Chains A and B, each alone.
Chain A
Amino acid sequence: MSLAVGRAGAARLPLGLSVALLLIAIAGGALFSLVTGGRSDIGLAAIFKGDATSAAVIRDIRAPRSLAAALIGINLGLAGLALQAVTRNPLASPSILGINQGAAFGLALALIAPHAVPLPLDGMAMLGALAAGILTFAIAGGFAGRIDAMRLILGGVAVGAFSYALVRFAYTLEDELARSVVRWTVGDITDIRWPPVLRMAFWTVSGVIVAMLAAHRFNLMAMGQDVAKSLGADPRVTLLIGMLLAAGLTGAAVSVAGPIAFAGLIVPHMAKLLFGQDHRILVPTTALLGAALMLVADGMSKVVSPPVEVPVGVVVALIGAPWFLLQTLLAEDLE
C-alpha cells in the first residue's frame, strides 16, 4: 500500500524553487511566531523599536518558543520520515505507531510517581517512546526480519491506546496533578525558556546528523529488504537505526511540548510531494518543512482566540487532518 505522493515527478517544482519557497515559508513563519503573543503592544514595529521591554520579550520569551516550535517540527518530521523509510509504510509516524503516546505515558508516569521512576521527565519521555516503538515493531514482526504492514499499524494503534489509557487515567486524579498532566500532554509550548530549548536542540542536531548518515540506507530499504541486504545494508540494522532515531527525536519533542499528532505523518508526505523519494534530499527538506509548519502553527495558536492561547498541538491537528484527508482522497493508487 502506498499513497500517491511524489509520483514520477510529473508536476514537481524545480528543486531550487522549492527550496526557496521553503526558506520563505520558514522566514515568514518565524516572523509570524515572533511578532505575536500575550503582549499585544509588542508586534512587528517593536522589533525595530529596540526598547528594553520589547527586546526582553522577543529575546527571552518569544525567540526560545519559536525555536522550540521549529525544533519540534524538525524532530517529528524526521521521526516520521525515518519510520516510513524503515517500515516501507506511508502511514508510519510517531503517533500512529504509538511512539508519541509511549512518550506521553513515560511523562505521565514521571509526573504521577516522581520518586518511583529512574529518570527525569525528558529521560522518561524518551524511554517511553523507545519502549512503545520496540513493542510495536515486535508485534509487527520487525525483529524476525519481516514487517507486516497491517500488523504494524494495528500494533501501533494498540500500543498507543494502551499508553494513552494511563494518561487519560491521570486526568481523573486530583486537580493539580491532572492540570499538570494535561498541560504536558496536550501539545503546549507556552512559556518555554532557553534551557529546555537548548537541550532539545542538542537532540535535534544529533538526530539530523544521524538521519543524514542513514539516508543512503533508507534509500536501499525503499528498494526492498532483499535488495538492501544484497547491497550490503542489513535491513535489521537499518530498522534499529530508524527506530532509535524516531524514539530519540520523538521523546525529545514530547518532553518539551507533549505529543503533537499529524506533524510526523504529514511533513514527510509534503516533502515527498515536493522533492521526490531520495532520502539524501528528503532528510534536510523534511526538517525544513517541519520547522516551517510548526512555526506557522505556533503563530496561529496565539492569534486564533486571544488572549487565550490554543495549544499548538491542536492547531497542527487542525491543519494536518484536512491535508491528510485530502491526500488520501486524491491518492490514485491507494491499494
Chain B
Amino acid sequence: MRSSLFGLIAAMALAVTTVHAAEIEHELGVTDVPDNPERIVVLEFSFIDALASVGVAPVGIADDERRERVISAYTDVIGDEWVSVGTRRSPSLEVIASLQPDLIIADLSRHGEAYETLSQIAPTIVLDSLAGDYHDSVEQMSVVGAAIGKSEEMDARVAEHRALMEDYVAQIRPLSEGKSAQFGVTNANGLWLHSPASYNGSLLEMFGFSSTMRPDGDGGVYETNYVPTTLEQLSEVNPDILIFGEYADPSFVDGWAGETLYDALGAVQSDRVFNVTAHNWSRLRGMLAAELTAADLLEIMGQLE
C-alpha cells in the first residue's frame, strides 16, 4: 500500500513536470503538443517560413534532398544544421523517428494518409499547405505559432506581414485594374497553370488581377490547383499578362516560340510575358514567400508602363 501510494505520488509529480501541453486544433483533429517543443520536423517549405518568421530552427526538413531549396532568406534565420528527412512527396519515416522530434508539422494532401504513423513518432499537426491558398497559409502561421509556444511573436509578425502586403496591394491595384494575369510553371515536359483556387491564383486576385481561367466558360472553378495545359488550351485562356516559372532550360513553353498560336497570344503580342523564379513562386508558400512574390509583381507592373 505504502509503495503504491509512493508510486502514485511519483507519477503525479512526473505528470506535473512533463504533461503541461497545448491542445492544437488542426486539419485532422486535436493534438497535445508539449510546451515549447525544441525538436521540430517540418515536411513542407511553408512550415519553414512559419518557423523562420519567429526565429525557430527545425531539426529536420523534407527538403527534397536538395539543401539549396531552403533559400538564404530562411537559412539566415534557421542556420544550416538541419537534417534532410527526404522529399516532401515521400519523407523518410525512419529518419524522422531517428531525430526524436517533439513536434512534426505535416501537409494535408501529401502526408494526411501517414498521420497515424507520424503521430506514433511524435505529436503531429497537419495543415493544408499544398492545396491551400494564400489566405489559408497566413492563417496556418497562427496555428504553428501556438504549437511552438510563440503565439505572441507570431501574431506580431503576421500583423507586420499584413501591413506590408496592404502596402503592396495599394501600389499594385491601381496598375492591375481591368487586367487579367496568369501564373504557370513549366518544366521540360509540360506547362501547369496555377488555377484561381491555388496559392498563387489567390495572390494574383488579392492584387486586383482577374483570371481568364474558366473551366466551362462561366463561373465554374477548377477542382485542382495545378492544371496541365496545352498550347491550344492556353490560347483559350489568353490572359493579358503571363507569368512563367521555368524549372528547365529550355522549358516546354520555350519550345512554343515561333508557333502561330503562341505568337497570337495577347500577352505575347503586347510583350507582357514575364519569367519569375519558379521555386520562390511555386514551391514556397507563406509570409516571406508571399512578400517575395509581391515584390516580383510590383517589379513586373513597373515594367508595363
Given A38-B232, A175-B89, A307-B215, A60–B261 Cβ distance below 8 Å?
yes
Give the interface segment out of B114-122, B172-180, B185-193: B185-193
The 6 residue pairs across chains A and B that have the minimum distance between CB atoms: A38-B232, A38-B233, A56-B260, A172-B90, A174-B64, A191-B230
A325 contacts chain B at the CB level, 8 A cutoff: no
**CB pair B190 A183 closer than 8 Å:** yes
How many Å from the CB of B14 to the closest CB on chain A? 41
A309 at the interface (CB under 8 A from B): yes
Given contacts A61-B261, A179-B187, contact A307 B90 (CB under 8 A): no
Chain B residues 252 to 305 lying within 8 A of chain A, measured CB to CB, are: 252, 259-261, 264, 283
Does residue B236 face the partner (Cβ distance < 8 Å to A)? yes
Main secondary structure of the interface of B (DSSP, over half): loop
CB distance from A317 to the nearest CB of B (A): 19
Q: Say yes or no: is B235 at the interface (Cβ < 8 Å to chain A).
A: yes
**Other CB < 8 Å A-B pairs besides A38-B231, A40-B236, A53-B264, 8 of them?**
A56-B259, A56-B261, A172-B90, A180-B188, A306-B216, A307-B236, A308-B227, A309-B230
- Which A residues are CB-close (under 8 A) to B230? 37-38, 61, 190-191, 309
Q: Please provide the chain B residues from 190 to 242 with a CB less than 8 Å away from any CB of chain A in the complex.
A: 190, 192, 215-217, 222, 224, 227-236
Say whether A60 contacts B89, CB under 8 Å.
no
Q: Tell me, rounded to whole Å, the shortest Cβ–Cβ distance linking A190 to chain B.
A: 5
B31 within 8 A of A: no
Complex: chain A residue closest to B260, CB-CB: A56
**A14-69: which have CB < 8 Å to B?**
37-41, 52-53, 56-57, 60-62
Chain B residue with the shortest CB-CB distance to A52: B260
Q: Is A119 an interface residue (CB 8 A)?
A: no
Chain A residues positioned under 8 Å from B252 (CB to CB) = 191
Chain A, residue nearest B62 (CB): A174
Q: Tell me if A61 and B231 are in contact (CB < 8 A).
A: yes
User: Does B151 make an interface contact (CB < 8 A)?
Assistant: no
Q: How far is the CB of B175 from chain A (nearest CB, A)?
A: 29
Question: Complex: how many Å from CA A309 to CA B89?
Answer: 24
Report the count of interface residues on A (CB-CB < 8 A). Answer: 28
Q: Are A57 and B261 CB-contacts (below 8 A) given A38-B230, A176-B247, A180-B187?
A: yes
A174 to B279, CA, bound (A): 13
The answer, yes or no, to whether A96 is at the interface (CB within 8 Å) is no
Query: Does A108 sit within 8 A of B, measured CB to CB?
Result: no
Taking CB atoms, residues of chain B closer than 8 Å to A52 are 260
Q: Write out the residue numbers on chain B whose beta carbons fall within 8 Å of the beta carbon of A38.
A: 229-236
A278 to B261, CA, bound (A): 47
Across the interface, which residues of A come within 8 angstroms of B192, CB to CB? 179
Closest to A191 in B: B230
Picked from A61, A191, A306, the residue with its CB within 8 Å of the CB of B190 is A191
Closest to A182 in B: B189
Q: Which residues of A contact B (CB under 8 A)?
A: 37-41, 52-53, 56-57, 60-62, 172-176, 178-180, 183-184, 190-191, 306-309
Given the known interface contacts A172-B89, A176-B187, A183-B190, the answer about A37 and B232 at a Cβ–Cβ threshold of 8 Å is yes
Q: How far is the CB of A254 from chain B (nearest CB, A)?
A: 15
What is the CA–CA distance of A39 and B260 in the complex, to the nearest angstrom? 14
- Given known A-B contacts A39-B236, A191-B230, A307-B236, A174 and B187 have beta carbons under 8 A apart: no
CB-based nearest A residue for B278: A176
Contact B232 A39 (CB under 8 A): yes
User: Please, which residues of chain B bring their CB within 8 A of the CB of A306?
Assistant: 215-216
Give the residues in chain A near B232, CB-CB below 8 Å.
37-39, 57, 61-62
* A309 proximity list for chain B (CB < 8 A): 228, 230
Q: Which residue of chain A lies nearest to B222 when distances are taken between CB atoms in the complex?
A: A308
Question: Contact at A60–B247, with CB atoms within 8 Å?
Answer: no
Whether B89 lies near A173 (C-beta < 8 A) is yes
Question: Can you report 15 residue pairs joining A to B where beta carbons are below 8 Å apart?
Answer: A38-B229, A39-B232, A56-B261, A56-B264, A57-B235, A172-B89, A174-B87, A175-B87, A175-B283, A179-B189, A180-B187, A180-B188, A191-B252, A306-B215, A307-B236
What's the Cα separation between A183 and B189 when bound, in Å?
Answer: 8
A62-B64 Cα distance, complex, nearest whole Å: 37
Q: In angstroms, how far is the closest chain A Cβ from the Cβ of B277? A: 14
Contacts of A308 in B (CB 8 A): 215, 222, 224, 227-228
State the Cβ distance, A276 to closest chain B Cβ, in Å: 41
- Contact yes or no, B65 A174, CB < 8 A: yes
Please, which residues of chain A bring their CB within 8 A of the CB of B64?
174-175
A308 to B147, CA, bound (A): 39
A191 & B247 in contact (Cβ 8 Å cutoff) = no
Are A174 and B231 touching (Cβ within 8 A)? no
Q: Output the least CB separation between A189 and chain B (Å).
A: 10
With A39-B232, A61-B232 known as contacts, the answer to whether A53 contacts B189 (CB < 8 A) is: no
Cα distance A176–B226 when bound, in Å?
13
CB pair B261 A53 closer than 8 Å: yes
| Cβ-defined partner of A307 (8 Å) among B66, B88, B233 | B233
Residues of A contacting B66 in the complex (Cβ-Cβ under 8 angstroms)? 174
Q: How far is the CB of A46 from chain B (nearest CB, A)?
A: 12
B233 touches A53 (CB 8 A): no
Q: Which residue on A lies nearest to B220, using beta carbons?
A: A307
CA distance A161 to B190 in the complex (A): 27
Residues from chain B with Cβ under 8 Å of A41 in the complex? 236
Q: Is the CB of A173 within 8 A of B87?
A: yes
| A175 and B188 alpha carbons, distance in the complex (Å) | 13
A62 to B259: give the CA distance in the assembly, Å.
13
B224 contacts across to A, CB distance below 8 A: 308
A57 to B232, CA, bound (A): 7
Q: A38-B233, A190-B228, A307-B215 are in contact. Are A174 and B89 (CB under 8 A)?
A: yes
